[in-house]
Amino acid sequence: MINFDQFTLDNGLRVLVHEDKSTPLVAMNILYNVGSRDEDPDSTGLAHLFEHLMFGGSVNIPDYDKPLQMVGGENNAFTSNDITNYYLTIPSENIETGFWLESDRMLELDFSQKNLDTQKNVVIEEFNQRYLNQPYGDALLKIRPLAYKVHPYRWPTIGMDISHVENTSLDKIKKFFFSHYAPNNAILSLTGNIGYDLAGRLTRKWFGPIEKREVQARNLPPEPDQNEERTTTIEKDLPSDALYKAWHIGPRKGSDFFTLDLITDLLAGGESGRLNTKLVREKKLFSDINAYITSDIDPGLIFIQGKLMKNINFQQAEEAVNEVIMSLTDKNGIKDEMEKVKNKFESSTVFSNTSILNKAVNLAYNELLGNAENINLEVDAYRRITQDMVVEAIRRYFVPSNCSTLYYKSTRKDK
Amino acid sequence: MNSLKRKQPPVFAVEKVVIPEAGFVKLNNGVPVFCIEAGTEDIMRLEFVFRAGQVKEPLPLVSSSTNMMLTEGSQNYSSEELNRLLDFYGVFQNSSASKDNGGVVFFFLNKHIEKVLELSREILFRPVFPEEELRSLMNKRLQWYLVNREKVQNIATDNFFQSVFGKDHPYGRNVAEVDFEAINTALVTDFHSKHYTSENMTIIISGRIHEKTTELLNTYFGEPISKKTDTAGPVKNLRGETGKKLHTDKPGAVQSAIRIGSPTINKRHPDYPALKILDSVLGGYFGSRLMKNIREEKGYTYGISSSVSSLDLSGFKLISTEVGQKNLQKSIDEIYKEIRLLQNVPVGKEEMKVVRNYMSGEMVRMFDGPFALAESFKAVWEFGLDNSYYHTLAEKIKTIEPDEITEIARTYYNIDDLYEITVGSE
């Protein structure tokens, strides 16, 4: 149970505070309600590039990192399709420095051409390192536009094409900042060794004076239903074939989100997941295989992906995957495994909550979804899932016409 | 309210690094147990450590394969049952074999402790190493290996260790495709019986420790020792390659990997804390010189870092990065330039303050919560040291003078001694 206090400033900034005296540290998390789905299709990758620029100095502070390091702090950030999230941990005696730094960059960035030019290069190297220079690293870049034809989820956070990042200008950056970075478009969470009174006083002092901004309204085109099987093939000189399959699912706040999450746990949770047990251990068709949901706010995807063993062809592999999925519709056959994945979910929630940083990130994210209190209800929501709900969801989503498949084919002779 | 002057708040020195001492008990058979009480949840991290790392293996892959085979079937459970039960009780299990040690860590809710102890005894002391499971594991591992060999960073790291510690020593030798076929149940069974023994075991527990915890540990692990442990010392013929530069061509690679470093002192040496501080200045944190120069000034890379690590028989320092092919030589030149600067120009006052405070903050994080505490404890225990290492480090962080950093850079960063390993397309 995570107890927390919450309030909203006049400028619209939502604040969540959870005190945990067992640590000498405080975690501070700021979630901005902007992600790659908010980008213009002609200028993708901007939200993520922007995350980099946020460390290049703000209107009153030329260097973000140095003063934070000076007080023993550490920080990082991530960008997803839906959000841009910044966090830091800091010894509690110096928490005010965190407020000073974070409020200043919410107030206004120091938009420097030099910083923009350098960070463009850094992001291009990030793109090369993560996607181009890894075996199979571009698979997810290729399968998104297969599954999504209209919705902005069709491009990845790094950008649809790296030239979008290369070609962006300081003007675009400024416009992006003032239309998305605003107290009324952010959620601040504080966890760890900080009392409610101090948290309230420092928040009002540093964030209170920032004025509300006009936030660009979100009006995203919904993805039409997929009515036919979609496939694509990549050929490369790599050691083995790999199979990627994605099915459309509902939104994060949909009633079957946890059911789908549980289904991926039945399939691939822990060493004893069904895909691993049947296809890696028993039948030896794959060297590894995984299943997960994207947890996107708008309707997302459920993925199954794996690398094939030598001398196994795609047809064998795919049939076997489908067989495992359909085996979950045997209601009585999954009873014990349901109990297993529920126990594991509970345990993983307890472990996640031993970290003040995880608590800060999760509180802010739950608040964005509608109610921070849900952080305490997840285990129950997951426990309430019945065998019937699993069977129903399998039948609804795992149909061929809802599926996009990427065949990553090895051209190596001795594969 | 708009009158707020956005001046920097006062900076308080990070003084309160609290380093709790671990409790110590011996089981009835003499097995040492270190106990660290911490955290707010009723959970436990239970680690079993054995001197069963690569350094003890007769052939490549033996220590890691033995370690991975522990959960592949025991006297009373099949591999499927073991894995299913661990998941059923919500246990997170992490098996690993490093250069020096091998072992298993379990994370679980205390309400399941008896079941976890029973299963962990099966895993550690009653494995049966079925032939079929071993073959299947080795086939999978070969596939993983082949995929990993596609990554410039993996090839570079492997080549680094081979250059630095020599291809005849287990610290250095590279794995080859044929090694996967050479592993058989006799090798694994033999390695297990020699190294996974009670005499060779240490237990580290952290989290919420109950009155009954020791009693339970005794029930499952306190029996008299019968097996014979191999007490032969490790192979000591550490000898680096004579050639300091090695480039491996990887056609089509978009980025080149760079590894620069050499063998060095380990935690047992009195200069080690000062070397750690030098390493932070050079490439040990986001504000380090390498990061500032090569990423934040020039944009050659997504990331660059340096580290100093300890091994039982040695230690090593290592600078790692991946850069675009066209910036490969420029990046290498800048790395050497930064090392020379540290050897010739004392670190300025302001930068000293940043490093001191950043490192003090890091120390707070190293002792925050039951998991971090256990890892920090293990990191000194395995070298026969105790918390006095951390007290010395904390003191050094506060008191080191710029001249000493220059001196350490001259002593330990002799550029002629450094190996330069690169992998990429030519």
The interface pTM score, or ipTM, of the predicted complex is 0.94
B150 vs A239: CA distance, rounded Å: 8
Tell me the pLDDT tens digit for each residue of A121-141. Answer: 999 999 999 999 999 999 999
Best residue in A54, A115, A272 for a mutation probing chain B (most B CBs within 10 Å): A272
A310 vs B140: CA distance, rounded Å: 10
- Give SS3 for B289: helix
Q: Residue B408's closest CA among B346, B316, B319?
A: B346
- Contact between chains at A125 and B300 (C-beta distance less than 8 A): yes
**Is residue B358's pLDDT more than 80?**
yes
Neighbours of A260 (CB within 10 A): 25
Q: B90 and chain A: CB distance < 8 Å anywhere?
A: yes
How far B234 CA lies from chain A's nearest CA (Å)?
A: 33
**Do residues B266 and B272 lie in contact, with contact meaning Cβ atoms separated by under 8 Å?**
yes
Q: Looking at residue A190, what is its pLDDT? A: 98
Give pTM, 2 decimals: 0.95
Largest separation between any pair of C-alpha atoms in chain A: 67
Q: Looking at residue B1, what is its pLDDT? A: 45
Phi then psi dihedrals of residue B336, to 5 deg: -65, -35
Section B19-35 average pLDDT: 95
Reported for A334-341, long-range contacts at CB under 8 A and 24+ positions apart, including other chains, are A334/A266, A334/A387, A334/A390, A335/A387, A336/B88, A337/A266, A337/A274, A338/A262, A338/A266, A338/A385, A338/A387, A338/A390, A339/B88, A340/A272, A340/B84, A340/B87, A340/B88, A341/A262, A341/A265, A341/A266, A341/A269, A341/B87
How far A208 CA lies from chain B's nearest CA (Å)?
A: 8
Buried b (16+ CB within 10 A) or exposed e, A180-205: bbbbbbbbbbbbbbbeeebbbebbbb
As a whole-number percent, the residues of chain B with pLDDT over 90 amount to 92
| Measured distance between the N- and C-terminal CA atoms of chain A, rounded to whole angstroms | 51
- Contact between chains at A287 and B140 (C-beta distance less than 8 A): yes
Section B254-277 average pLDDT: 98
Least CB-CB distance to B143: which of A60, A73, A307? A307
Rg, Å, chain B Cα set = 24
**Is residue B231's pLDDT more than 90?**
no
Contacts of A328 (CB under 8 A, 6+ apart): A263, A266, A267, A274, A334, A390, A391, A394
Section B4-11 average pLDDT: 89
**Is residue B129's pLDDT more than 50?**
yes
Mean pLDDT of chain A: 96
Section A406-414 average pLDDT: 91
B76 vs A309: CA distance, rounded Å: 30
**Is residue B2's pLDDT more than 70?**
no
- Contact between chains at A355 and B369 (C-beta distance less than 8 A): yes
Q: Looking at residue B364, what is its pLDDT? A: 94
A9 vs A17: CA distance, rounded Å: 14
Assigned token pair, B233? 């010392």
Q: What is the CATH number of domain B23-221?
A: 3.30.830.10
Q: Helix, strand, coil proportions of chain A in percent (round to 5)?
A: 45, 20, 35
Contacts of A108 (CB under 8 A, 6+ apart): A58, A59, A177
- Give SS3 for A287: strand
AA letter at A110: D
What Å distances lie between residue A24 and A193, A199, B9, CA to CA?
Answer: 6, 15, 19
Least CB-CB distance to A340: which of B40, B88, B254? B88
B87 vs B74: CA distance, rounded Å: 17
AA letter at A124: I
Find the helix or strand (DSSP H, E) in which B139 lies.
helix B131-148
Chain B residues within 8 A of A67 when measuring between CB atoms: 8
* Backbone torsion region of residue B124, taken as left when φ is above 0, otherwise alpha when ψ lies between -120 and 50, otherwise beta: alpha
Find the helix or strand (DSSP H, E) in which A275 lies.
helix A274-275
Section A101-113 average pLDDT: 95
**Is residue B344's pLDDT more than 60?**
yes
Q: Residue B52's closest CA among B193, B257, B147?
A: B193
Mean pLDDT of chain B: 95
Query: Considering only alpha carbons, which residue of chain B is nearest residue A97?
Result: B9
Neighbours of B25 (CB within 10 A): 15
Buried b (16+ CB within 10 A) or exposed e, A161-176: ebebbeebeeebbeeb
**Is residue A119's pLDDT more than 80?**
yes
Number of H helices, E strands in chain B: 15, 11
- Contact between chains at A129 and B302 (C-beta distance less than 8 A): yes
Chain B residues within 8 A of A121 when measuring between CB atoms: 298-300
| Alpha helix segments (H runs only) across A92-216 | 95-107, 113-127, 139-147, 162-166, 170-180, 196-207
Domain B245-424: homologous superfamily in CATH: Metalloenzyme, LuxS/M16 peptidase-like (3.30.830.10)
Domains within chain A, CATH numbers bracketed: 5-207 (3.30.830.10), 230-410 (3.30.830.10)
How many Cα atoms occupy the beta-carbon half-sphere of A80 within 13 Å? 14
- Give SS3 for B43: strand
Tell me the pLDDT tens digit for each residue of A264-274. Answer: 999 999 899 99
> β-strand B301-310 against B315-324: which pairing, if any?
antiparallel
Tell me the pLDDT tens digit for each residue of A305-355. Answer: 999 999 999 999 999 999 999 999 999 999 999 999 999 999 999 999 999
Q: What is the DSSP string of A215-242?
A: PPPP-PPPPPPP-S-EEEEEEES-SS-E
B191 vs B200: CA distance, rounded Å: 13
Q: Looking at residue B59, what is its pLDDT? A: 96
B303 vs A123: CA distance, rounded Å: 10
- Contact between chains at A339 and B255 (C-beta distance less than 8 A): no
Neighbours of B214 (CB within 10 A): 18
Section B375-391 average pLDDT: 96
How far B389 CA lies from chain A's nearest CA (Å)?
A: 20
Chain A residues within 8 A of B88 when measuring between CB atoms: 336, 339-340, 343-344
Intrachain domains B23-221 and B245-424 with the same fold: yes
Assigned token pair, B242? 């004579």
Section A3-12 average pLDDT: 98
As a whole-number percent, the residues of chain A with pLDDT over 70 amount to 100
The domain segmentation of chain B, as residue ranges, is 23-221, 245-424
A241 vs A411: CA distance, rounded Å: 9
- Give SS3 for B334: helix
Chain A residues within 8 A of B301 when measuring between CB atoms: 122, 125
Q: What is the DSSP string of B59-117?
A: STTHHHHHHHHTTS-BSS--HHHHHHHHHHTT-EEEEEE-SS-EEEEEEEEGGGHHHHH
**Is residue A282's pLDDT more than 70?**
yes
Tell me the pLDDT tens digit for each residue of A181-222. Answer: 999 999 999 999 999 999 999 999 999 999 999 999 999 999
Contacts of B333 (CB under 8 A, 6+ apart): none
Chain A residues within 8 A of B361 when measuring between CB atoms: 69, 71-74, 90-91
| Alpha helix segments (H runs only) across A296-386 | 314-327, 335-352, 356-369, 378-383
The alpha carbon torsion through A400, A402, A408, A413 (nearest 10 deg) reads 10
Cα B335 → chain centroid: 24
Q: B272 and chain A: CB distance < 8 Å anywhere?
A: no
Q: What angle do CA A171, A175, A176 make, to 5 degrees?
A: 115
What confidence category does residue A413 fall into, taking pLDDT thresholds of 50, 70 and 90?
confident
Q: A with B: how many residue pairs have Cβ under 8 Å apart? A: 216
**Is residue B226's pLDDT more than 70?**
no
As a whole-number percent, the residues of chain B with pLDDT over 70 amount to 97
**Do residues A322 and B68 lie in contact, with contact meaning Cβ atoms separated by under 8 Å?**
no
Q: Looking at residue B15, what is its pLDDT? A: 72
Chain A residues within 8 A of B40 when measuring between CB atoms: 20, 22, 354
